[in-house]
Amino acid sequence: MIVAIDGPAASGKSTTAKMVAKKLKMTYLDTGAMYRAVTLALLRSNTDLDDYDSVCQVVDELELDIYDQGAKTVVKLDGEDVSQAIRSMPVTENVSAVSAVKYVREAMVEIQRNIGKKTNCVVEGRDIGTVVFPDAEFKIFMVADVKMRAERRLKELHEMGENRSLQEVMTDLKRRDEKDSTRSHSPLQKADEAIEIDTSMLSIDQQVGKIINLVREKNN
Ligand code: CDP
């Protein structure tokens, strides 16, 4: 069984998907973390993001590992735990450009489908219900007011020791949403049959409860 959760940046997907997975005893898969890890590999190797062949080469050579460990998702790049490093601002600023590259997407989608074949998963991203798992049993599209999203993300960044202004965070979210929605390969899009949840006025428990109820209603 696949529960697909898509939506714009900082709309609450990660927290919600993680809790839903825990309650339903399913695997949680954060596909954004995968695109972030590829971005980190490209930045570390000083690859020119406009140099297509070099980008492909880095993608071919990197070794990516992603798995749940207790309540945490561990992301490993060439054996090194990069779970923190992929949340840094330079990665965040470049990830939308990297994830727009078809070759990068194809490589990541293959890994995602392989994980989905082996286990029941709650998968979050931008193209999960539309491209990666078009036959997912449950499709959710999470949205929220941009100011609310920026406030939530600012709080997370402060907790990680990154000092940013609300304006900076809001600008980044808007820029990424625009880029993610307008790219030609697998743009951020609500699948026709997806259920939209606006989290602006919802608590985490309410968001999680809505999805759990959907799954339980259908499975009973
Ligand atoms: O956590 P946040 O909402 O900031 O973003 P994320 O889920 O970590 O995703 C980071 C970026 O990866 C997005 O802005 C997209 O550019 C890209 N992404 C994608 O293209 N496709 C996915 N399935 C997931 C993420």
Going by CA atoms, what residue is nearest to atom 12 of ligand 1?
Answer: 32
**What CATH class does 2-214 carry?**
alpha beta
Q: How confident is the model at residue 218 (pLDDT cuts 50, 70, 90)?
A: confident
Percent of the chain predicted with pLDDT > 90: 92
Average pLDDT across the chain, whole number: 95
Where do the domains of the chain lie?
2-214
Instruction: Tell how far the Cα of 219 is from the centroid of ligand 1, in angstroms.
Output: 30
Residue 144 phi/psi, 5° resolution? -165, 155
End-to-end Cα spacing for the chain: 14
Q: Give me the mean pLDDT over the 131-141 stretch.
A: 97
pLDDT at 162: 85
Mean pLDDT, range 104-110, rounded to an integer: 97
Q: What is the pLDDT of residue 70?
A: 82
Q: Which residues contact 147 (CB under 8 A, 6 or more apart)?
A: 170
Q: How far apart are CA 219 and CA 76, in angstroms?
A: 35
Pick from 11, 30, 95, 171 the residue to mutate for probing ligand 1's pocket: most ligand atoms within 8 Å of its CB.
95
- Of 76, 73, 74, the C-alpha closest to 63 is 76
To the question of pTM greater than 0.75 for the whole model, the response is: yes
pLDDT, tens digit (0-9, with 9 covering 90-100), for 60-82: 999 999 998 888 899 999 999 99
